[in-house]
Structures are given as C-alpha cells and as structure tokens.
Chain A
Amino acid sequence: MRITPITIGNDIIFNLENTYQTIEGIDRQLSSGKRINRPSDDPAGTAYAIDMQASDDWNAQYQSSSQSALTWLQSTTTALQQLSDVALRARTLAVQGSNDTNTLSDRASMAQEITQLVQQVVQIGNTTFAGNAIFAGQQVQTTPFNQQGGYAGDTGAITHQIGPGYSMRVNADPTTIFTGTGGIFNTLTNIAKHLNTGSTFTPTQNTGTETMSLTGNYTGTAANYTVQVTSVSASGVITGIQYSTTGGAPWTPVAGVGSPPTFNLGSGMSASFTNGAVSPAVGDQFNISATGPGLASTFGIQATKNIGNEQVTLTNAGTLPGNPTITVRAAQLDPNNNVIGVQISTDGGATYGPTVTANEVVPPSELLSYNAITYAGPTTNYEVRVASVGTSGAPATIVYSTDNGVTWSAPVSSTGSPPQFMVNPNIGVTFGSGTAQVNDQFTFTASAGGAAQNIQGMSALPFPTTTTFNGPGDVKISWGQSSVNAGLVVTNNDTFTYTPPSTGLNSDLAALDAVISKLAGQEAQFGAQANAVQANVSQLQSVDLQVKTALSQDADADIAALTTQMESAKTVYEAALAVDAQSIEPTLIQFLH
C-alpha cells in the first residue's frame, strides 16, 4: 500500500487521540476515585451502584431506627424494673400489715409509705425520654398520670420498623400495668385503704350523696381545704357551709348566694353542690386539694365524711382474736346527742347484741340519797342526770329518764331544803356532798309498791365528749366527735363497720402478686426485644460492611491497576511522540542540495 505523509500524519493523530482517550479515561477514574463516573462507563454497574447506595442508605436508616427502638425498649425496661421494686416494697408492707399483731399506728405508717409509693409510681409513669412520655400510648406529649393516678394517655402502639418487614412495638400498654382494676394504682390504693381501715370505721349509714364542684380562678397557694355542711334547708338545699385550710378550727363560715347557692371559698374559688339520691346533711364534708394558682375546677375533690359528724375508733384491735368484722351502731343518746350506749354486731349487722353503756364509775364523794315517800308505781329503773349546777356547786336542775336514757324529762328544779328533785310525785332525790357537774348521772331502781330505796350511785365525772364502750374481747370502742366537729348530728342506729385489715389485704396481696408477675413478664419481654434489636443492629452492621464492600468493588477505582495502566499509557504516548518526531522529520527535501 502506498503511504503518504498525510497518511502518517492521520495515523499519528488517530493513535495519539486514542492514547489521549485512554489517558483521559484513566485520569477521570483516578481523579474522582470512582470506576463509574457516568452511566455509560458501566450501565449495569451504575444500576447496581444506585441499588447498593440505596441499600446502604436504607441499611443506615434501619440502624438508626434500631437505635431509636433500643432507647425506647431500654427506657421502658428500666422503668418497669423500678415499678417492680415499688411493687415488691408494697408487697413487703402488705404482708407485714396483714399480720394481726401489728398495732394500729404501725398500720397507719405503713399506709403512709404506700401512699408515698403511689407517688413514686406516678413519677415512674410520667417517665420521658427525648420529650416523649413512654407510658402514654401515642399521647407522648402529655403528662399521662396525675397525682391521683388518673390516666390521660391512650393504648396506642408505637412501632419501629428495624428491617425489611421487621416491625416491633417499642412501648408498653400503660393500661395493662398501671390503670384498671388489676393495675398497680388500684392495688396500692386498696392496700393503703385496707391498712387504714385498721384504725377507723367506715361509715355505712347516714350518707348524703351530694357532690361538690369548684369554679373560679384560684389565686392562692397550694393548700388542703376541708369543707363542711353546717345547715340544710327543709327542701334539702345546703344553705350554709364552713371551710378550713388547717383540717379543723379555725373555721370560716360561708352563706350561700344565688340559686343554686354558690359558696365563696376565698382566693377566687367558689363551690356549689349538686344533690344526689340522698339529701345532704349537716356535717357532710369534702376535702379539696388545691394545687396552687390555676383553674379551681381542676382541683381534686374528695368527699371524706359525708355523714353525721361523729367518728368511731377502735383500740387494741390488733389483738382482737380472729379479727372479726365488727359493726357498731348508736343505741342510746344523751340529751346532747352524745352516744352513751352502742350495740355491737359481729355478723355484718344482721344481728346486734345488747346495748352496751359506758363503763363509768361513780366517785364516792358525790352520793345520791332518796326521800322515803310511799311509791305506788311499778318497778322502774330511773336515770337521773345533772342538768345544771348552781353557784354552791350543788345541782340546780336535773333531768330524768325511765327508758334507759332514750327520752328525758324536762329539767326539774329543786324543792325544799336540803335540795330535793321530784322525779315522781312520790320519789324525791337528794344529792350528797361534793361538787356536781352537768351530765353527772345516776341510776336507781324504784321497787313496786314500796319505799324508794336501794339507790345505786354512779360516777359523778362529766360526761365525756368521747365515750368508750367495751367491745368483744378486750376491744374498746370510742364514739365521739372528730377533731373538726361542729354541729354533731347523731341519730339512733348510726352504724359503723370495721373490717379487719387482713381480709382486704389478703386479696390485695393476690392482686399485687399478679401485678408483680405481669411486670416481670413485661420486663422479660422488653429485655428480649432489646436483645433482638441489638442482634439486628449487629446483623445490619455486617450487612452494611458487605454492601459497602460490594459498592466499593463496583464503583470505586482500582488505584493500583489504574496507576499501572496510566504508566503504560504514558510510556506509549511518549514513545509515540519520540518515534513520530523521528519518522516525520527527515524528508527527501532536506537531502536535495
């Protein structure tokens, strides 16, 4: 073939161009560090690279989701462990409290600790991490539990997807742990109540069912209000109340305004009442937990003593054999409505024993004698009580009863000297020496058709505000007024029931054991989930490594190989230049001289 310089020139240009392209290709890979710089470099490899990159991103997202899930699970597990601790402590207290040898004050302090445990449970229930409440269902931005254990969350699941098709619920359902009949709140509250029933009777009669509501903007500080009904109209409308922030005196009386009447409790807070099935009664009482300045309607109200104002307590109950349920009812009242006789039932109020009167002893200094007038009436028990005392210390008026103190006569003034009080046209009573006091009381029996004689003197002590009665065994029953007493209203047959602590606590213990085992189950479940997530994370990490390796192999430049190729391309290029320069330079023209 005939070759011309143009052919050689074209060849050189063509081949140098090819070498340039080779160098450019190598250079592009070397300078970017990528084997694939545009889809045409390796079409299938590009799709693979996009796919791998997406997998890598996806994988990273799953890892981040797993970490988030792990935080949820671990926070929940920690909180559940704390709850378990609380439940175990409560169990210790409940077991201790159900032991009959405990004294009432022991039980009261146990109840106090349980109340504190309830507050701890509230605190655990309100645990947050990263601003999310973990025991609120999907209502993560609320404070789910209030101080009374009321729940504001829901049962919604929070799920995390931590792998392809691998979803996991990361929050507990608070309603299975905290709220409801078998929840930890209910169980602890029951334990506290049952521990407390060891010292106080539960009223079962004389209960109005009105409710109270609050309005207004409270401007005062946090305080506990006690509100007590002081007067009720004939139509059952509460017309007067008194309130206290000290649990008793001093009281601030308030009259109702408007219809239905609204009572101003001060600091911007007002109360009004709504009648229930049973009409309100004087002495009905409510407690308000004012939490500080804010809407009064949000404060907790508890009807604490929605009954006549009397209160019955029990002493030595801890040693009562067999811990029976005791029901006590008022059976005998004095003219001042003080309970002076009770009846006791040990079968839940089905049958009552005989009237038990206060076990008082008449001091020898104040004796009663009788005037020997012929008595024609039947044999009668007389009860005589000092109604008022004169300046000399001797009784000025008396009242008497012939029906064991159920009804009393009008006050009787003395006749004659020495003072003599006529309780019957034929019976006059004369007091002995000593200083008499109101309510000093004596009994005597007038025998039929004979002279009044055999008078038995009794204690001249003032009738106590609180009267103590002998219950079964060595149990003493005290019936009196509460410390916040005002306007005591007692009627016959007011009844109180005492339930021994062990009865309620035994069922509480069963409930608490269920709570503990539920907590343990949840703890185990969340722990297992956390382990699974951790395993998932390490698996994702190893997948990540593989994906990155594959991506690198696919898309990254092989620097060593490219450098070698570059060297050889450069050598080719330089050799071509050198040889081309040599081959073109001499032509025949240079030799024609």
Chain B
Amino acid sequence: MTTIFTALNTANTALGSDQIVIETIGHNVANASTPGYSLQTANLQAAPPYTVPSMMRPTGPGQIGTGVQVTTIGRGRDALLDGQYRYENQFAGQYATLDAQYTQLQGILPEPSTTSLGARLSNFWNSWQALADDPTNAGARAQVQQNGIALASTLNSDAQQLAQAKQTADSYVSQDVTTINNIATQLANLNSQIAAISASSQQPNDLLDQRDQLLDQLSNIVPITYTVQTTGTVTVNLATQVPGSTALQVARPSEAPLVSGTSTNLLVAVPMGVPTYADGNAYMDPVLFPTQPAPIGGTLGSAIQLRDVIIGGTNGLQSQLDNVAKTLAQDVNVQHALGYDANGNTGKPFFNVAPPAASLSAPFSNVATVTAANITVDPAIVASAQAIAAASAANAPGDGSNAQAVSNQRSTVGAAGSPIPGLTLEQGYENIITMLGANAQLAHNNNQSQATVMQSLTAQRQSVGGVNQDEQMTQLIQFQHSYEAAARVVTAVDSMLDTIVNHMGLGN
C-alpha cells in the first residue's frame, strides 16, 4: 500500500533528475566550442516500480511507478569514427607538411622565370655563341665571364638553400619527437586518473575527451594504433618504421608500446649512424603497413621523407642539382681545354675543378668532386676574360670556333653512365623541375582531398558528439517544464497533506 508520501518522493526524483539534466545541458552549452569536447547526455530511466512481486504483496493495481533516476552521464562518441579519423589524420599531417614544404622548394627553384637557373643556363650558352660571332669583342668575352659567374653562383645559392631546407626538415624531426613524447607522457597521466575513476564505476567523460584529443593530435604527427583496455586505460603503439640512416633517426629503446597504462616508452632523436634497435630491424605495424619497407606517415614521416628522400636522397634534389653542376663542368671544361685564349694559352679549364688539373683534357672531366655548392669559374677567367678560349688555334684572334663548340655543348646528350644520361643539360634540368612540379602538385592535390576527407569525418564526429545549442535549448525548455510539473506535483501533494492534516475529520 503506497502512502501519500510516496507521491511526494516520486515527484522529488523528478526534481533531482531534471536538475542533473539541466546541469548537463549547462555543461554542454558551456563547452559547445571547446575543442575535443563531446556532447554529454544524462541518461534517464524510470525508478524501480512498487511493489516487487512477493507472497505478501498488497492487493490492488500495480505496479506503481516510483519516479525517475539518472543512470549514467553518456558521451557522444563513435569509436569507429574516431579510428577512421585518426587513420586519415596521419595522411592529413603528411600531405599538409609536404604541400607546405614543396611550396618552399619551388621557391628555391622558381621556374619559369627570367632569373632562375634555367634562364641562366640559356643565357650562358647564348653568350658563348655571341662570343663565337665576335671573338675580338671584349664585351662578348665579359658577357661569357659574367654569365659563367652568375650561373655558378645561382647553382651555389640554390644548393645552399636546399641544404637549409634539409636542415629545417631535420629540426622538424626532433620537434615532432619532442611533441610525441609530451603527448605520451600526458596520455600515461590521464590513463592513471581514468583508471581510478573507472574503478568506481563512474564515467570520466571530460578526461576521456582530453585523452581522445591527445590521440587526435598524436595521429597527426605519427601513425598510431591504440587499444582501450578493460581498465579504461589506452595502449598506444607507433605504426611506424624508421627508414634510411641519415641525420637524426627516430628510435626507441625497446619495442614496447609508446604508452601502456601509466608507463611510457619514449622516443629519442639520435644522431645519425648510431644503432637504434636491439634487433636491428625497423619497427612497423603489419596491419597498417603490410609490406616492407613502407614510408611512414604523419608530419614526422613527411619530415624524414623530405630530408632523406626528396632533398637528400640518392635521386633527391641535391644530387640532381649536383648532376647539373657536374655535367656543366665536364661539358664546358673538356671543350674549353681544347681551345686557345686571347694570349695563346691552351689546355685550361673554364670551371674550377679541384684538385687542380695536372695535364690536358682528362683531368677536367674528373668532376667527381664538383657539386652545385662548390662549382666556381676558374680564377684565371674571373681575373681576365681574355683567358676564355674562344679560338681553335693559337694566335687566331678572329677565330671563334671553339666558343661555338662550347655553345654547341648545349645540344650534347649525356652518354650512358654520365650524370644525366640520354638528355641534354637543359633537358636534365627541365626534368628536375617537372618532377618537382609534379610532386608538388600531387602533394597539393593530396592535401586538398585529404582536407575534404577530414572535413567530412569532422562533420560526422560533430554529428555524433557536437553540441547543438538549439537542441540544448529545446531540452532545457523541456526539462524546465518537467521540473515545473514535478514541482506542481509536490505542491498538489502538499495541498493534499494540508487537507488531511488541517481540514479532515475532527470538528474544530
């Protein structure tokens, strides 16, 4: 048999639940724009009804409800979407870095332009032909001299900027390693708090949001795999391998997960050449990268790729630019050494080749030590343009045939085994630009399309966990009215009690 106080109690549960709901709504509205925040929902459930079945239960209608209770504070989150988001996020990080870096690299070789290497090459060859037409003209000689110096210094400065870009990429690697370690430490810290709260069967929603956000950040830097344990902690593994062995390498002391419970296995950025793994193997997750070796993703992966492959690789920009310098020095020197300068000297190089040549011809083709960074015009020619060998015979001031022969080197196709086989120097350079442009275009397009993917995933995550103020307001009105209604019930019961206590029975 229920008493009148039962009704009062029932209304009371409604008041309490509505208050929790409204508090949750307040929390949601307050955090509507907080990064990483996910929508919280107070899950309501009808309280256990009266009476429970028993032998002694009172007769009459039943069961009678006893009100409402808040079971859990739910969190708008989709683990599958999160996994997808973090998988795609590594590519977002990778492509964004590559896109930005390629823009910079294209700035180093700003083609097409009238001042960059391509134009300098063209000017250089043309000035040789102009000299061939008028070898006694001091202006034509000075033109060859100055264009040679400009060409060499353009190569020098391009090489220097490439080296700078490589160093920048190297500093990104150590920065990223530091960031990864920071995040890992925070994750371990959160793990311990979350485990403590989960043990008391409560949901640490806001801590979980923080953790998810750290995982989002981490997945942008480096590909990860993670598992949420039954204790509520998360175990994080790096899905990565370390390619190459140049400059800074990313290494861990052991193959233990990056974060496991409250313990971390931090990365170290070690100088190149130091052995990294005890087993000597690259470490990678076979799920994400089924074949070896695979490029690593994330901003870290792209920084390493930039440093070790795109700029510094065996086929990287530095080596390709060096090939241009080597071919230039060889083509020009060999022909130049065959000619005679205005003073009747022969067998001299045009571009300085170290170590200094001992005899004619062959040593000038020994351009192994020539790079884009160190190529210079021979000091004798820098000192006087008269040292340019325009003639094919001694004391033939009107003869420009050797200058013509040098100019014709522009059409000479590199022999098999030479730095630029099968192509002319200019074609070789165009190839570099085409490859650079195509890769930059690919990186940009990848970045664009990845941004769309991320946008779509973000929208989906928002759809699950985002705060809609209108929705919250509607709920607020709803629960405000619910609260008012419950209060009304209390008032009614109060009135009933007043009737019972003050106006029933005894005549007074």
Interface, chain A (partner B; CB < 8 A): 1-7, 10-11, 14, 34, 36, 38-44, 46-47, 49-51, 53-54, 57-58, 60-62, 64-65, 68-69, 130-132, 136-141, 154, 156-161, 164, 167, 171, 555, 587-589, 592
**Which residues on the A side are within 8 Å of B235 (C-beta)?**
none
CA distance A38 to B110 in the complex (A): 6
Within 8 Å of chain A (Cβ to Cβ): is B194? no
Contact in complex: A140, B398 (CB < 8 Å): yes
Cα A130 to Cα B133 in complex, Å, equals 12
Q: Chain A: which residue is nearest B397 at the CB level?
A: A141
Question: By CB atoms of chain A within 10 A, which of B435, B439, B444, B462 has the most?
Answer: B462
| Complex Cα spacing A49 to B438, Å | 15
Q: Would you call B470 an interface residue if the criterion is a C-beta within 8 Å of the partner chain's C-beta atoms?
A: yes
9 contacts between A and B (CB under 8 A): A6-B466, A38-B103, A39-B436, A51-B427, A54-B118, A138-B398, A139-B397, A141-B136, A158-B399
Q: Are B393 and A156 in contact (CB under 8 A)?
A: yes
A residues within 8 A CB of B434? 39, 43-44, 46-47
**Is B464 an interface position by the 8 A CB rule?**
yes
Task: Tell me, yes or no, whether B367 is within 8 Å of chain A by CB.
Answer: no
B247 within 8 A of A: no
Residues B463 and A7 in contact, CB atoms below 8 Å apart? yes
Decide if B84 is an interface residue (CB 8 Å cutoff).
Answer: no
Q: Is B229 an interface residue (CB 8 A)?
A: no
A40 touches B431 (CB 8 A): no
Find A592's partner among B130, B391, B396, B477 (CB 8 Å cutoff): B477
Digitize B455-490: 1 where CB-to-A-CB distance is under 8 Å, 0 elsewhere. Answer: 100111011101111110110010000000000000
Q: In the complex the two chains form, is A3's CB within 8 Å of B463's CB?
A: yes
Answer whether A131 and B430 are a contact pair too, CB < 8 Å, given A7-B459, A38-B437, A156-B393: no
* A556 CB, min distance to chain B CBs, angstroms: 11
Report how far A68 CA is from B473 CA in the complex, Å: 87
For the complex of A and B, list the 6 residue pairs with the smallest distance between their C-beta atoms, beginning with the closest: A39-B437, A43-B437, A4-B466, A140-B398, A40-B440, A138-B396
Is B213 positioned at the interface, with any CB of A under 8 Å from its CB? no
B209 close to A (CB within 8 Å): no
**Interface 9-mer from B3-11, B58-66, B121-129:** B121-129
The distance in angstroms between the C-alpha atoms of A46 and B430, with both chains bound, is: 8
Nearest B residue (CB) for A171: B398
Partner of A50 from the list B133, B433, B463 (CB cut-off 8 Å) is B433
Which of B148-156, B158-166, B400-408, B412-420 touches A?
B400-408
Q: Complex Cα distance A138/B431, Å?
A: 40
* C-alpha gap A131/B399 in the complex (Å): 14
- Name the contact of A587 in the complex, choosing from B132, B136, B469 (C-beta under 8 A): B469
For the complex, what is the distance from the CA of A40 to the CA of B477, rounded to whole Å? 55
The answer on a CB contact under 8 Å between A161 and B408 is yes
Contact indicator A138/B132 (Cβ below 8 Å): no
The answer to whether A588 touches B455, judged by C-beta atoms less than 8 angstroms apart, is no
- B441 at the A/B interface (Cβ < 8 Å)? yes
The reply to whether B430 and A51 contact each other, CB–CB distance below 8 Å, is yes
By a CB distance below 8 angstroms, the chain A residues around B427 are: 51
Q: Are B451 and A14 in contact (CB under 8 A)?
A: yes
Bound: A139/B460 CA distance, A = 84
Report B27 CB to chain A, min CB distance, Å. Answer: 16
- Set B122, B396, B438: member contacting A53, Cβ < 8 A: B122
Verify B396–A154 contact, CB threshold 8 A.
yes
Contact (Cβ within 8 A) A6 B400? no
- State in angstroms the CA–CA spacing of A53 and B123 once bound together: 11
Give Cα distance in the complex from A167 to B403, angstroms.
13
**In the complex, chain A residues whose CB is within 8 Å of the CB of B121:** 54
Across the two chains, which residue of chain B brings its CB closest to A51?
Answer: B430
At the interface, yes or no: B411 with Cβ under 8 Å from chain A? Answer: yes
Contacting residue for B398 out of A4, A57, A156, A164, CB 8 A: A156
Closest CB-CB distance, A163 to chain B, in whole Å?
A: 11
Most buried by A among B393, B401, B431, B467: B401
Is the beta-carbon distance between B106 and A54 smaller than 8 angstroms?
no
Are B106 and A39 closer than 8 Å at their CB atoms? yes
Contacts of A53 in B (CB 8 A): 112, 118-119, 122
Tell whether B111 is near chain A: CB-to-CB under 8 Å: yes
Interface pair B33/A6, CB less than 8 Å apart: yes
CB distance A160 to B133 under 8 Å?
Answer: yes
Among A1, A46, A139, residue most surrounded by chain B Cβ atoms (within 10 Å): A46
Contacts of A64 in B (CB 8 A): 130, 133
> Is B463 a contact of A38 with CB atoms below 8 Å?
no
Give Cα distance in the complex from A68 to B119, angstroms: 24
